[in-house]
Copies of this chain bind each other. A is one copy, B any other.
């Protein structure tokens, strides 16, 4: 399997760095191919802007990100930095986001990678989302660390259920563009636990990576469960864990 690890931590010797290195070593040892996009090391630009587009704009007077992305992709005018990342995504059968949870989400440098690389016309377009998204047939996975305990991220924890907090990534980025999604690997507050506990997290992650085929994918309702209004049809019982029957 070809695996792209998108790594978003400023310190290579962090636990995020260790998880990234472990994943690369484990996957290569198991016969997979691995590429790493180390966003901090590459000083990857985080902000979608006019500089993403090399040539004449579709509309020089009004800047619409989606319109300019579509236009630039059609005309071979997308910035090289973006094309290089898109080529890695196309190459990959599995994409892993390795990041520390900052403010209940991805570091800005990774959010910006998504904003820029998952361009309209590349990752989605009219009528191409969710089951028909352009990343269909590929796998994606979150590997994250947190600053607080697993208890705070319990369903009745003060931060809220970690799976619900990851929904904007799992459903909103991965599934939206057609990926099948592996359950997340979350290492809780690696900065505050013992060396043994950190080692245990690495061992668990290694086991997860070795058994990708045997790992059940997250469930998302198929398009057929939705009516024309994009709401679940009457009688469909919610099984995503996030949505609610009304």
Q: What residues make up the interface of A, taking CB atoms closer than 8 Å to B?
A: 10-11, 13-14, 40, 46-50, 62-66, 102-109, 111-112, 114-115, 118, 130, 147-149, 151-152, 154-161, 164-165, 167-169, 171-173, 176, 191, 221, 226, 229-232, 238, 240, 242-246
Contacts and interface: CB of A to CB of B under 8 A. Distances in A.
Given A167-B165, A243-B155, A62 B13 contact: yes
Contacts of A160: 167, 171, 240, 242-243
A115 B46 CA distance: 13
A64 to B, nearest CB: 7
28 contacts: A10-B63, A11-B62, A11-B64, A13-B62, A46-B47, A46-B109, A46-B112, A47-B108, A48-B108, A64-B191, A65-B102, A103-B114, A103-B115, A103-B173, A104-B167, A104-B172, A108-B108, A108-B111, A108-B112, A148-B230, A155-B246, A157-B231, A157-B232, A158-B226, A159-B230, A160-B171, A161-B243, A164-B242
B232 A103 contact: no
Nearest to A105: B168
A154 B238 CA distance: 13
A156 B130 CA distance: 15
Contacts of A149: 229-230
A151 B115 contact: no
A156 B238 contact: yes
A49 to B, nearest CB: 6
A238 to B, nearest CB: 7
B104 A115 contact: no
A48 B107 contact: yes
A107 B112 CA distance: 7
Nearest to A64: B11
Pairs of residues from A and B, 5 with the lowest C-beta to C-beta distance, nearest first: A104-B172, A108-B112, A104-B168, A155-B244, A46-B46
Nearest to A226: B158
A232 B168 contact: no
A229 B171 contact: no
A156 B149 CA distance: 30
B130 A158 contact: yes
Contact of A10 (B46, B49, B221): B49
